[in-house]
Amino acid sequence: MSQALGVTPPDEDAIDDDAPANVGAGLLSGGGGGGGGGGGKMNATAPAFTPTKKPSAGPVMAGAAADQPGPRTTEQAVDDDYFGSYSYFDIHRTMLDDVARTATYRTSLEKNPSLIAGKKVVDIGCGTGILSMFAARGGAEVVVGVDGAAQIAAVARANIAHAGLGGKVSVVQGKVEELLAAGSIPGAGTFDVLVSEWMGYALLYESMLDTVLAARDTLLKPGGAVLPDIATIHVAGFSRNATSLPFWDDVYGFEMPVVQSTLLKDALKSAVVCPVKGDHVVTSSAEVRSLDMATMTVADTEFSSGEYVLTARADGTRGDELDAEVQAGKGEGATGLTQQGALLTEGGDGSGPVMCYGVVLWFDTAFSARFCKEEAVILSTSPYAKQTHWAQTMLHFPEPIALAPARGGGGGSAGGAVGSKENPAAGIKVRVGMAKCTEEERLRALDISLEYTAVASDGKEGSHHAKIFRM
Ligand SMILES: C[S@@+](CC[C@H](N)C(=O)[O-])C[C@H]1O[C@@H](n2cnc3c(N)ncnc32)[C@H](O)[C@@H]1O
């Protein structure tokens, strides 16, 4: 619904609405782990890979265009697109400018001398070399940065030399998997610490975690540290005000429902990456999955969560309040700031049900006290924390679910389907699954499955929905 940041819509026909979920083994029957394929038809016009940190059409580094002669395999083409996308300075600026992100890494590397000082550190996907330089400044004796994007690897070398850190820090250029196979990363099996910023939208878009796990298994010495070491995915419900629908309620006094229905149709097929405000989260949250980077395997990156029941927020937040920005714009009518529709449809007097329009996913990564003994830190992409360039990932419902406000009933005895306005539910039962897309052209893409059902307090359930969202 809201403009996706860096998520390219898939082929219109590639997914059936309400098709049974087919990602994450055992999705419909419970249980986790296991492979599972993305399924769906091959998208012959699949777009080039779009990285989490979307590059603009800004300056590209010299020699950045793919210039290898001869035919390329699909995997090579995907890799070329992927590493090419990291050849724009804009993308690195976006990451470096994300202070929540970069400063958390800096703290982990510079404020934990018992972990870093005098140690050997490998930086997987070093980009501009920033994490490698943090490690050097934190007292590391030897640092090796690795990056598959030739142009940015050259920039990292230059940055490191300019900082006078060339004696400690070196950069190896190449795709990590190929370098590992060729034994071309010096010091395999001897590194004390592996650091990497590998996270994508909804944590697992971009599939860089597999690379990190392969590097961990070959390069780290037994018991070596991985930074960050814990990643956790969360889910909660969002209100209509979290979507872009209210904008189209009142465009200089005109309503534009065709735009709204088109946006919703698209949002039912693709996950929408967009900032969600904490005030627009309308339910409790649940932990979808927690991953331990020090012990997990690649198989753990595909899963189906347990079932969780999300209930209206205990603090009474309904998600339909007009915030100060909205009130300031009231009457101007041009920018969606009036949000009259939100008021009317959500029972603006605060007495009606709480309306949930879908669920939002976010993640936290911890640099925990297991390795960071002096100063443990957490990088959060929660709607309740300062926004990061990852924003949040929204999965929309085709129809909103009405929830009884906290301590407001939801007994299921009234007429109307459970979860309708006439019969608000006590909660929404959800299950989330993630699996890599198996289509050759979208090898770094992610399929997210969502199952959900409105439930009454007497256990009665509304209809069961199962959908797949592409990223
Ligand atoms: C998210 S950026 C992080 C850059 C830098 N570490 C930072 O924090 O600013 C990820 C980097 O990893 C590199 N990368 C991703 N997958 C890789 C692989 N399989 N082999 C080598 N480099 C890879 C990309 O080229 C990109 O520069």
Q: For residue 83, how far is its CA from the centre of ligand 1 (angstroms)?
A: 8
Residue nearest to atom 6 of ligand 1 (CA): 126
| Residues paired with 220 in a beta bridge | 191
Residue nearest to atom 27 of ligand 1 (CA): 127
Q: Which residues of 351-362 are buried (b: 16+ CB within 10 A; e: fewer)?
A: ebbbbbbbbbbb
Give me the catalytic one of 141, 206, 287, 439. 206
Residue whose structure tokens are 């309306």: 355
197 is catalytic: yes
79 lines ligand 1 (CB under 6 A): no
Residue nearest to atom 25 of ligand 1 (CA): 149
The amino acid that residue 311 corresponds to is T
Atom of ligand 1 minimally distant from the CA of 126: 6
Residue whose structure tokens are 């879908």: 358
Residue nearest to atom 7 of ligand 1 (CA): 127
Inter-residue contact 406 to 374 (CB < 8 Å):
no
Q: For residue 134, how far is its CA from the centre of ligand 1 (angstroms)?
A: 16
Inter-residue contact 22 to 28 (CB < 8 Å):
no
What span, in angstroms and rounded, lies between the C-alpha atoms of 453 and 471? 23
Inter-residue contact 25 to 61 (CB < 8 Å):
no
Q: For residue 389, how far is its CA from the centre of ligand 1 (angstroms)?
A: 16
Q: For residue 43, how far is its CA from the centre of ligand 1 (angstroms)?
A: 26
Inter-residue contact 41 to 15 (CB < 8 Å):
no
Give me the catalytic one of 141, 197, 332, 451. 197
439 is catalytic: no
What span, in angstroms and rounded, lies between the C-alpha atoms of 100 and 95? 10
Ordered per-residue pLDDT tens for the chain, 471 residues: 332 333 332 233 333 333 322 222 222 222 222 222 222 222 222 334 556 665 444 555 554 444 455 677 888 888 888 898 898 899 999 999 999 999 999 999 999 999 999 999 999 999 999 999 999 999 999 999 999 999 999 999 999 999 999 999 999 999 999 999 999 999 999 999 999 999 999 999 987 999 999 999 999 999 999 999 999 999 999 999 899 888 788 787 788 999 999 999 999 999 999 999 999 999 999 999 999 999 999 999 999 999 999 999 999 898 876 655 555 555 555 444 454 444 444 445 567 899 999 999 999 999 999 999 999 999 999 999 999 999 999 999 999 999 999 876 666 566 789 999 999 999 999 999 999 988 877 778 899 999 999 999 999 999 999 999 999
